[in-house]
Amino acid sequence: MTIIENPFKSFWMGGFECTDQLNFYGNRVDLLNETVHFKFIHEDYELLKTLNINTVREGIRWSKVEYEPYQYDFSDVKEMILAGKTCGIQQVWDICHFGYPDDLSPLHPHFTRRFVALCEAFAAFYNDVAPEQTLIVTPINEVSFISWLGGDAAATSPYCRHNGWEVKYGLMRAYIAGVKALKAFDPSIRIMTTEPLINVVPPLNATQEQIERARWEHELQYQSVDMLCGRICPELGGSPECMDILGFNFYYDNQWVAGSHQVLGWNDKYPDTRLRSLSELIKEAHLRYDVPVVLTETSHPLEDRPVWIKMVAEETGKLIQDDVPLWGVCYYPIIDRPDWDHLHHWHHSGIWDTDPSGDISVRILHEPSANALLKGQIKVEKVVENAGSNKFVYIRKNPEVVTAEQETSLV
C-alpha cells in the first residue's frame, strides 16, 4: 500500500492558458503573453483570491525556456514563481503544455534526451528558487489530444496524418523518461496527469461491429496513462510509481458518437440516453488506476457558463459522497483566451472576460459565472462536512495485474 497526501492549497483551482505551440498555419503562438497574464500576473492572482482560489495551473513554455539546445533561460518562470510567493498562490507546473522548440518534434531522435534534460534543469532551478514548496508537475499536457492534433489532423508539429500512434509513442517515451529523471532528482516531486476525459458511444440502432468500435474508441482515452503505468508498452519503462495524481480535462463536447463524431448535447431538454454523467466517468477512471483524481480542466463558453459550473459542483458532490478521492477542480481558462489558430477570436469561457477591441489587460468579471462558482464552493464544502471522512490522505492499494489479453485489447 502507498499513502498519498493531498498537496493542494485549495480545492477550487484556476488555470491560465499557456500554450506556445506552432498553430495550424505554422505560426508560433504564446498565449501567456496574448492574454497579458505574464505582465499582469500579480493582479490576476489577487482576483483569484476574491473567489477563494489559491492554487493555479501554469506552464513554463518550453520553446521560450530552451533558447538553444540544452541552454535554458528560466528568468520568466522565476518572475512567475516569485509572484506566486508574494500573492500566496500555489502553482502547479506544466513542463510541456502544447509546444516544442523549433528544431524538435516528438518524432525527432533527440526529443527524449532533450526533454529529460529540460526536466532535470527545471527541477534544479525550482529547488533553488522555491526549495520550501513541493513541486507538482504535469510533464506533458494532454498527450492523447496533442498526438491526434499533430499526428492525425496535421494541425501542429509534426504536421502528420495517420501517424497519431507514432507521435503518442514518442511523447510517452519522453514523458516516462522525464518522470524518472524528476523522481531521481527529488522523490517528493508529485506527477499529475492531464488527459481528456471522454465518452464515445455507438449510433442508435447500432450493429455489433459499431458497438465494438465505440467501445474501442472509448478505451483509447486511457492509452497514454496505461503506457505511463506500464500496463502496455512495458519497454518504455512505465510503472504505477510514475503517477501520483490522476488529472482529467472535461468539456461540453467530450461525449460523441463513434464514426460521425456527433456531439451529445449535455443540457438538452430531453437528454440522450447514451449520455453519461461527469461523476460516472471520473469514477470509472479512478477505479481503473486507484489514485486520487483532479478535474484539471473544465469550462464552457458564453452564456451557459453558470449552468455548467452548477453541474460540475453537483457532480463533484456526488463523487465526494461516494468516497472517490477527488482533490480538486480547476476552472480552465480562468481568464479568457483567444483561439490559437485565429487570435482575433476570443472564446469568452473564463470567469473573467477580456475586451479584445479595447484594453485586454482589463479583466471583466462574468458575474453569473462568479456567483455560480461561489455557490458551488458552498455546496461542495457542505458535502465534505457531511461526509465526515478524511479527504487529505489516500491509501492506494496494490495495482491489479493486467493480463496480456487485456493489454492487447487496449493498444
Q: What is the pLDDT along the chain (411 residues), one digit of tens a residue?
A: 677 889 999 999 999 999 999 999 999 999 999 999 999 999 999 999 999 999 999 999 999 999 999 999 999 999 999 999 999 999 999 999 999 999 999 999 999 999 999 999 999 999 999 999 999 999 999 999 999 999 999 999 999 999 999 999 999 999 999 999 999 999 999 999 999 999 999 999 999 999 999 999 999 999 999 999 999 999 999 999 999 999 999 999 999 999 999 999 999 999 999 999 999 999 999 999 999 999 999 999 999 999 999 999 999 999 999 999 999 999 999 999 999 999 999 999 999 999 888 899 999 999 999 999 999 999 999 998 887 654 567 777 655 444 334 443 333
**Residues 168, 319: Cα–Cα separation, whole Å:** 30
Amino acid sitting at position 189: I
The sign of the torsion formed by the CA atoms of 263, 305, 88, 391 equals negative
**Residues 54, 48: Cα–Cα separation, whole Å:** 7
**Residues 295, 389: Cα–Cα separation, whole Å:** 20
For residues 295 and 329, is the Cβ–Cβ distance under 8 A? Answer: yes
Rounded to the nearest 5°, which phi and psi values hold at 280?
Answer: -65, -40
**Residues 39, 80: Cα–Cα separation, whole Å:** 10
**Residues 313, 324: Cα–Cα separation, whole Å:** 14
To which residue does cell 478505451 refer?
219
State pTM to two decimals: 0.94
**Residues 255, 200: Cα–Cα separation, whole Å:** 6
Closest CA to 10 of 35, 61, 60, 45: 45
